[in-house]
Amino acid sequence: DADVTQTPRNRITKTGKRIMLECSQTKGHDRMYWYRQDPGLGLQLIYYSFDVKDINKGEISDGYSVSRQAQAKFSLSLESAIPNQTALYFCATSDLGGEQFFGPGTRLTVL
Amino acid sequence: KNQVEQSPQSLIILEGKNCTLQCNYTVSPFSNLRWYKQDTGRGPVSLTIMTFSENTKSNGRYTATLDADTKQSSLHITASQLSDSASYICVVASAGNNRKLIWGLGTSLAVNP
């Protein structure tokens, strides 16, 4: 089984809809991250969490929110989706050493 | 401004050949440099992580070098295989109070038979 899983893998939605992307990990890591990737751009950090009670904004947090339900679960929400949030979204985990392990990604399309 | 620049942007080689990808950075203070492999539509996978004191690190047919004085790194792929076709991303971690990862745009490598 994959160490980091994301659901859904693909999602098409309409402008204004609320969307939740979920991430689960079995690596036992405390640290979890959400990134987005757009064509021609590097990965951009949206939010990160160093433990269940710790949530931090990344470079591009506007329009997004997160919830760390447990050590193994970190969800990303788009309260009111807009077309420029169409992107590939990745969840990642790491231990204190810093090496990050990524999930398979969620391809989100906002019409 | 902290930046990571990679070259070439894309590269096509024949199976069995070697290739070298370049990464220049201006990140300061420096913590470590990472190389990731990203297959199309999938998450990045870590290849190597090097700290300031490490000049070279290997992972199978992948060998990364780091020159912290000139702020340059390279990733050398030996005896390329079709499965090496992917994007290779250089990432530099900054140190200090404002730690962050600065991601390069990647080099897209195509290995043809």
- In tens, the pLDDT along A43-84 reads 999 999 999 999 999 999 999 999 999 999 999 999 999 999
B108 neighbors B6 (Cβ within 8 angstroms): no
Contacts of residue B106 in chain A, CB cutoff 8 Å? 42
- Name which of B41, B45, B104 is nearest A42 (Cβ-Cβ): B104
Residue whose C-alpha is closest to residue A60's, from A36, A82, A41, A39: A36
B73 neighbors B64 (Cβ within 8 angstroms): yes
Asked if the C-beta of B61 comes within 8 angstroms of chain A's C-beta atoms, the answer is: no
Q: Which amino acid, residue B22?
A: Q
Contacts of residue B4 in chain A, CB cutoff 8 Å? 42
DSSP codes of every residue in A40-80: TS--EEEEEEEETTEEEE-TT-TTEEEEEEETTEEEEEESS
Contacts of residue A101 in chain B, CB cutoff 8 Å? 46
Q: Is the pLDDT reported for residue A27 higher than 90?
A: yes
For chain B, helix, strand, coil in percent to 5 are 5, 60, 40
Residues of chain B with pLDDT under 50: none
Say what percent of chain A tops pLDDT 90: 89
Asked if the C-beta of B106 comes within 8 angstroms of chain A's C-beta atoms, the answer is: yes
Q: Do B103 and A107 touch (CB under 8 A)?
A: no
Mean pLDDT (chain A) is: 94
Read off the pLDDT band of A1 (50, 70, 90): low
